[in-house]
Amino acid sequence: MVNKKVGVYRKYLEPVPVDPSGQPLAKSKWPKKRSFCWVARWFSSEGKRHSRSFRTKREAQSFAAQKQIQIQDARTAGLLAVSLREFHIEHKQLMQGNVAARTLALHLATLESLAGFLGWDQPLHSIGVRDIERFRASRLATGIGAATANKDLTVLKRLFNLAILRRYLIKGGNPCNEVPKLKIGSIRKVIIRPETFASIYSWAPDAFWRAFLVTLYTAGLRLREATNLTWQDIDFESYELHITRKEAAGLVQAWTPKDHQMRMIPLPAQTVNLLAAWQSVAPEGCPYVFMKQTRWDYYRRQVERGRWREGQDLLNNLLKRFKTICRRVGTRPYTLHDMRRTCITNWAGQLPIHVVQQLAGHSNMRTTQRYYLLVQPQDLQKARAIQASLLGLIHEADLADAPGGRWSESSLQGEIPRPGFGEAPRALE
């Protein structure tokens, strides 16, 4: 029978001491004659022995008390035993329709990666911090980036939290909580200046692209919000665009916004006019705003034949074609999300932050502040003017770095300038 108790013991680091006659000393005298550390030892549910070393007994006892709670017998804790395989099957069934199809696919793919590393029959409650660290190291060894590894950790943390709610793990038993994310250096976010966007717009090949680019640039839509936009979502009289949940009906696919809430975005007259121009030549009978004739014909056939997959992209290759336009303009390869970031940044320069949060569709204001409130050139000019005003009381001539000034580097360091050969010493002013 496996011992479920976590014990604390001394671990001696030196050979057994001997007396002057060469005889080993009694064990009771070892602590004073032999260096040691404290060790917490326990057995996993598979019978494998584990240990962890500490400098003091108090540290070892504190760890042992926490570990004892984590590895207590599942029946005693009132938990349900489940393997990774069983959890994977159940999670797929329970979350179907409760989260976006792509989110569920990400959950299942991450679980499959973990099960492929630890084994499908690995008991869920036996997975510890070291297992998560080993899994991440193996993923990094395949060449993935730190951001992807952090995404894996975030998904696993969510999955283990769900396991706690389902009574497969004890409260506080999420092994991902003790694994820190990898540090990633921030990169400079870009915005598309008005003159740059005007150049990109001038290379738009048709009415579709003119309406699509201007809508993203002035409404700050996410790509999936734009591709799932229907003509009913646009109020041409009030100059408003509505982001709302869609239910599956006819040729309209079920879809839910990322923030799960409806929001209204005001549109400028130029955007409404371009949308009206595109509507006049858009495919007849197509409910979606941004869908060309060729894609509409293919989409309609697939839906009528029952071959359209849930969660499948309504449009494809948009980013590739947008980058082609940028290349022809001769500018940097912007992304479609850069237009959303630009729009939100422009809003933030004129509107209160809570209004920007609502228009952007962020459930948390910190997201708006962290990723979209970028410093623009005019902000730097204002900052430069403020700093210059602080020096307004100093005469311009005194700010010039001209030789012969009354102070020198040596005087600032507390040294008295030495007179030259044949010169009389000068007194400090």
DSSP assignments along 212-253, one per residue = HHHHHHHH---HHHHHT-BGGGEETTTTEEEE--B--BTTBP
242 beta partners = 264
Whether 426 shows a pLDDT value over 60: the answer reads no
pLDDT at position 140 is 95
Whole-model pTM: value is: 0.62
Task: Please write down the long-range contacts of 201-206, taking CB distance under 8 Å and 24 or more positions apart.
Answer: 202/329, 203/325, 203/328, 203/329, 204/325, 205/325
pLDDT tens digits for range 122-145: 889 889 999 999 999 999 999 999
Contact 147, 194 (CB under 8 A): no
Residue 292 makes CB contacts below 8 A (sequence gap 6+) with 208, 283
At 29, the pLDDT band (50, 70, 90 cuts) reads confident
Where do the domains of the chain lie? Answer: 7-71, 84-178, 194-371
Task: Please tell me the distance from the alpha carbon of residue 79 to that of residue 88, in angstroms, as a whole number.
Answer: 18
What is the pLDDT confidence band of residue 330, given thresholds at 50, 70 and 90? very high
| pLDDT computed for residue 366 by the predictor | 77
In CATH, 194-371 is 3.40.50.1370? no
The secondary structure of residue 418, as a DSSP letter, is: P
Does residue 242 register a pLDDT over 90? yes
Q: What integer is the mean pLDDT of 192-220?
A: 94
Lowest mean pLDDT among 187-191, 237-241, 315-319, 418-422: 418-422
- Within 10 angstroms of residue 353's Cβ, the number of other Cβ atoms is 13
User: What's the CATH number for 84-178?
Assistant: 1.10.150
> Are the CB atoms for 13 and 37 separated by under 8 Å?
yes
Give the span between the Cα atoms of 265 and 361, in whole angstroms.
Answer: 10
**Within 13 Å of residue 61, how many CA atoms lie on the same side as its CB?**
3
| The pLDDT of residue 1 | 35
- Asked if the model's pLDDT at residue 396 lies above 90, the reply is no
Evaluate if residue 67 carries a pLDDT over 90: no
Give the CA radius of gyration of the chain.
Answer: 33
What torsion do the CA atoms of 305, 309, 313, 315 make, to the nearest 10 degrees?
-10
Q: Is residue 72 predicted with pLDDT exceeding 70? A: no
Strands 240-243 and 234-235 turn out to be antiparallel
> DSSP secondary structure string, 135-183?
HHHHHHHTT--HHHHHHHHHHHHHHHHHHHHTTSS-TT--GGGGSPPPP
Same fold, 84-178 and 194-371: no
The pLDDT assigned to 349 comes to: 81
Query: What distance in Å separates the CA atoms of residue 59 and residue 71, rounded to the nearest whole number?
Result: 18
Strands 263-266 and 234-235: unpaired
Please give the share of the chain, as a percent, with pLDDT higher than 70.
Answer: 82
Per-residue pLDDT tens for 252-276? 999 888 877 789 999 999 999 999 9
Q: What is the structure's pLDDT at 412?
A: 45
